[in-house]
Amino acid sequence: MAQVLQSPTPTSHFSSSTSPPSSDDTILILTTNQEHQPLSLSSSSSSFSSLAVAVNNSFSAVTECEADGKKTRQELSLLAILVTLLRKSLVSCSSDSAAMDIGHPTNVRHVAHVTFDRFNGFLGLPREFEPQLPTIAPSASATVFGVSTESMKLSYDTRGNIVPTILLLMQRHLYAQGGLQAEGIFRINADNNREDYVREQLSKGVVPQDIDVHCLAGLIKAWFRELPRGILDSLSPEQVMQCQTEEDCVELTSQLPQTEASLLEWTINLMADVVQEEHLNKMNVRNIAMVFAPNMTQMVDPLSALMYAVQVMNFLKTLVSRTVKARREAF
């Protein structure tokens, strides 16, 4: 049957009426399939089709008026009704789409199984992803600074220590560019203008060719300083303070976990390499131990960290002196 809708007033909603409308009302006749059933509006796709049909029918069903002024008012009122209907439908559609959930997935395939091997990097990586990662990824993380060594690629150094590959990469470039002979190496702070860029490249496993040796040395110290846990943090300050002799220091290093012990031995040998070039770089045992000591531990209180750094410096100095002495005796 035909259903008559009167144009709404500012304080009323859409309503159906079977009584003749007033002269100021616009008559909208919507045809429904079932008798005495109102036209339902929803945000589904079928409701939009029904709305379109209703709009077309409403345009064809608007009564012709004799007066031009009355016809103009009817067309404006009809336009207001259509705008309101569309607005309500769009709002309802937006609220429904916000609540959409992913249903049961179909056509699930196992494309690849990728693992990070700590000695060989990423294994099983699909070919299309290879250009996005360095050939030899130094870490499973996005950066090599400030992350645990457990996520880093490892390699053996010349003395059989297992250390992160990124350290060996920086060490190799430092030595190749004459860093051991540079005066004040590991003590002089480099220009930090390019540090962010160099960090980004190192995280990709690349060392810029034109990098300053002091910048590279500073980043080696920064690597230790930014570790989530210092390599000597498994030892208590009391244990370090009680080391009075060379034998005490050697015994204490044997109590370190394997990863920290390897890192400490690598660092001691690096410092010994620097000391052996003391006649050029002006870095003796005390100087090199002093600049490395604050990077070996993580302490929150600055005053405690400063006092503890003195004990760590003496601890490192003893181990470096022992290594340099052993090298001289070997020749």
Q: Kindly tell me if the per-residue pLDDT of 186 is higher than 90.
A: yes
Confirm if 23 and 70 have CB atoms less than 8 A apart.
yes
Percent of the chain past pLDDT 70, that is, above it, reads: 59
Of 13-17, 192-196, 314-318, the poorest mean pLDDT is in 13-17
> Which of 3.40.220.10, 3.30.70.20, 1.10.555.10, 1.10.150.20 is the CATH number of 229-331?
1.10.555.10
Task: Write down the domain spans for the chain.
Answer: 2-98, 229-331
Say what the pTM is.
0.60
| Average pLDDT estimate for 33-53 | 44
| Average pLDDT estimate for 281-299 | 96
Contacts of the segment 276-281: beta carbons below 8 A, 24+ positions apart: 276/180, 276/324, 276/327, 277/180, 277/181, 280/180, 280/181, 280/183, 281/180, 281/181, 281/182, 281/183, 281/184, 281/185
pLDDT at 66 (0 to 100): 46
Alpha helices in the chain (DSSP H): 45-61, 68-98, 165-176, 195-203, 213-225, 237-241, 246-253, 258-275, 278-281, 285-292, 302-330
| Average pLDDT estimate for 249-266 | 95
pLDDT tens column, 47-84: 444 544 454 454 444 444 444 555 555 555 666 676 66
Confidence of residue 300 (pLDDT cuts 50, 70, 90): confident
